[in-house]
Structure 1
C-alpha cells in the first residue's frame, strides 16, 4: 500500500478505499476525536477508570487560580505524592515523583503553574515495576517494562562521570538507530532521589553497585526499556482491555505499575497511571533490551480491518503473490456469500 511523506506535518499519509489518512508524529486517525480529547485530561482518565472499578491512584486537581488565591488547603494531603500537568503532559516532562512534604509540593507547584493551568496530585505508589502496554483494536500488541534511569558503579569513576559514560554509549546506539532516545538528564527529581539515598554526584560508587537516579521510568528521562511481551497473565489482559473499552480508545498506550505483570492485579498491588491516546512506538520497535516488535504494521492493519473490512479483504486478495486468478475469484465470491448470509 503506497504512502506519501508529508514533510510539512512531520508525518505521512496514505490513501485507502476512497479516503486519505494522515499520521503526524505520534498522532493517528485510529481513535475518535472525543475519546482523544477526554484522554488528554489525566484526571478525567483517573476518574473514569476508578468508576469502572479499575485500580488507579487516589488523585485530585489543583487549578492555578485556586493555588494563587489560597483557596486550596494542602494540609489534608497524605504524602508521598506525585505532581504532574493535568492536560497533555508527555515524556515525563514536569512530573515530580515522591514529594514528601508540603513545602516541597508548594515550591514545585509554583514552578509548574508558570507553564500549566491545572496540576494533578496523585498518591505515590512505591516499590512497583513500571510497564507500557500498547493496545490496538481490543488486542495487546506489545508490553515493555520501563526501568528508571540508573548506572552501575565501577569503583573508579564518580557518579557524574558514570552518567557521562552511559550517555556516550547510548548516543552511539541512538545514532546507529539501535534504540529509541534514552539519554540521562539530571533534573529536580534526580537530585531528590540522590538526596534520599545519601549519594552525591561526586561520589564514586563501588564496583557493580547500582545507583537508581530517579523514580519516573520514561525513556526521555534516561529510563531503559526491555521487552516483556508474553509475560502478562490472562487476568491482567482482561483488565487492560476493559480499561481501553472504558475510555473508548481503539489505540492506546497504558502506563501501569504493579508488582509483576505476570501476576493478577487485585490480589497483588497494581495501578493504571495514564492512558496515552497518541502513544510512541519507538520504545516497542527499538527497546534497550529484548525482542523488537514491529507494532506499526500491526496497528495499521488492525485499523484498516476495522474501518474498511471488505476493502481490506479485497486488497489482500489482489496482492496475493503467486495466487491463481480463479482461486482469488472463488475466495471473493465465498466472502460475498458469507456477508450476504450474515445480513439476511
Structure 2
C-alpha cells in the first residue's frame, strides 16, 4: 500500500519536512507546532550541558530545543518534554521493571521472565509452551526481537544467532500472543493516535521475484517522509522467515499473494504503519491510558499493545516508550494523520489551545551546521509572523550563478525584515519568494533583485 493513500494534515505536507528524517523529524514536528503558535523557539548546540533529559545514548544534535511563552519555558528532547521524568524513561528502558509496575496496577501483560543462560531460556519456553517470543531486556527499536517461535529447535537456532550478533546478556522469554499490534500515543488521559504496525511484507504481482518486490517496495517507502530511511533489509530474520514459509528470494508470488518477511512489526525493520485509531475499542484505549498511569511522572508516551483477535476489548501491554517516535502518526502509509505534536503542545502550553497559528515553516536543516560545529551555543528562530501577510515572487534570469547573487538577496531580505526563500531553478535562473506585513516593502525590493548580476531579465 502506497503513502499516497494517506490523508495528511493540510499544514504538514511532505514539502514542509523535506530532507528531515529519523529522530530529528520527531523534534522538528513538535518544535514547528509550538513555533506556529507564536512560542519562542531556541535550538541548542550538540552535546550541550543544558540538556538534563535522558538521551538514551543518543546525541542531542538537532533534537534538543526549548519553547517559551515568555512566562514559562519547557525543554524538549525529540518528542519528549521535560514533564516526562528521567526516572520514568529509565524504567521504560528496563522491560522487566516496566512489567512489574504494570502488573501492580492490574494492567494486562504477557506471561514471561528474564534469563541469562541459554539453558534457562529454553527450559522456561518449554514450561510455558510454544509459541514464544524472545527479546533483550534493555533493547530498543526491535533489535534482537523474535516472535512466534514454534519449537525448541527454532529457539536454539535463534539464540545462537542472537549471541553472535548482539552483546545483550539478559533476554526476556514471553508467551506469544496472536492479534494485531498497535503503537498507541497517549497524552494525559486521552489516546491521540494509534498505528497498526504490520510486519515487513510484499504483495505478489505474478511477475517479480520476492527480491525484486522488496526493491520495489523500498522505492515506495522512500516517498514517505518517515519511512524513507527505513528500508526492508534482507538479513537472517528475513531468510529464516521465508524458509519457514517455503520460499526463497527467487520465488515469484502469485498476484495478490502477501508474503511476510518478519514476525516482528517494528517499522524500523520494514514494517508498515497503518493509521488505526478508530479501530480500537474504548476498553483497549483505557488499557493504554492505565498503562501510562502505572509509571511515575510520564504524562505522554507511546504504548505497544497486542489486541486479542477473539475479543477486541482485551489486550496486553508489551512495552512503553517514553521518548517515542511520532513521525508515523503524521505520515502513515494509509489512513488519516493524527496530530500528536498538537496534543503535546496543548499539554505543555494550554493557553495556546484554540489560538490562531500560521502555516509558515522555517528552514530547520540550515540550523544544524552552526550547532554541530559549535559555532553557536544556541539559535533562536525568529518569531513566526502572526499578522496578515503579503507575498510576491520574482523570477530572475541572467548571469546569476557563481556571482554571490543568492547570498546578496538573502542578506538584503534580512535587512528589510522580509521572509521567504531564494532557490536555484537552473544555472541561469533563480526564483525569489518573499512575504511581508507591508506590501510596499515587497514592491521596493525589486531594486535589490535587479542587482547582483549583469543585465538580469526580471519577470514578476
Q: Does TM-score exceed 0.5, indicating one fold? A: yes
Kept after mapping to 1: 8 A contact 2:74/2:348: no
**TM-aligned CA distance change 1:178 to 1:193, over 3 Å:** closer
Separation in 2, partners of 1:316, 1:157: 52
Q: Which residue of 1 aligns with 2:105?
A: 52
Kept after mapping to 2: 8 A contact 1:232/1:262: no
Which deviations, in whole Å up to 9, do the C-alpha atoms of 1:132-160 show, x marking residues without a partner? Answer: 11001121111111111111111111110
Q: Secondary structure at the match of 1:122?
A: strand
Q: Which residue of 2 aligns with 1:225?
A: 273
Separation in 2, partners of 1:192, 1:243: 34
1:189-208, aligned counterparts within 5 Å? 189-208=237-256
Q: Secondary structure at the match of 2:349?
A: helix
Selected match of 1:41 from 94, 106, 129 = 94
Kept after mapping to 1: 8 A contact 2:180/2:309: yes
Is structure 2 residue 120 aligned with structure 1 residue 75?
Answer: no
Is structure 2 residue 315 aligned with structure 1 residue 277?
Answer: no
Selected match of 2:68 from 15, 26, 31 = 15
1:302-313, aligned counterparts within 5 Å? 302-305=347-350, 312=351
1:261-276, aligned counterparts within 5 Å? 263-265=312-314, 270-276=315-321
1:95-244, aligned counterparts within 5 Å? 95-113=145-163, 114-126=166-178, 128-171=179-222, 173-174=223-224, 177=225, 181-244=229-292
Greater shift after overlay, 139-148 or 43-52?
Answer: 43-52
Kept after mapping to 2: 8 A contact 1:231/1:261: no
Q: Secondary structure at the match of 1:74?
A: helix
Q: CA deviation at 1:19?
A: 5.2
Separation in 1, partners of 2:43, 2:121: 51
Separation in 1, partners of 2:170, 2:82: 27
Give 1 or 2: higher helix fraction.
1
Selected match of 2:306 from 234, 257, 269 = 257
Q: Secondary structure at the match of 1:75?
A: helix
Kept after mapping to 2: 8 A contact 1:227/1:287: yes
Is structure 2 residue 41 aligned with structure 1 residue 3?
Answer: yes
Q: Secondary structure at the match of 2:101?
A: helix
Separation in 1, partners of 2:124, 2:274: 38
Separation in 2, partners of 1:18, 1:97: 49
Separation in 2, partners of 1:14, 1:112: 42
Whichever of the two has the greater Rg, that structure is 2
Greater shift after overlay, 146-155 or 44-53?
Answer: 44-53
Q: Which residue of 2 aligns with 1:334?
A: none
Greater shift after overlay, 213-222 or 99-108?
Answer: 99-108
Equivalent residues, number: 300
Q: Which residue of 1 aligns with 2:422?
A: none
Instruction: Tell me the TM-score normalized by structure 1.
Output: 0.78
Q: Secondary structure at the match of 2:256?
A: coil
Separation in 1, partners of 2:335, 2:341: 18
What is the alpha-carbon root mean square deviation over aligned residues?
2.8
Kept after mapping to 1: 8 A contact 2:284/2:307: no
Q: Secondary structure at the match of 2:215?
A: helix
Which deviations, in whole Å up to 9, do the C-alpha atoms of 1:255-306 show, x marking residues without a partner? Answer: 11114699311xxxx221111111110010111111112211211221334x
Is structure 2 residue 94 aligned with structure 1 residue 28?
Answer: no
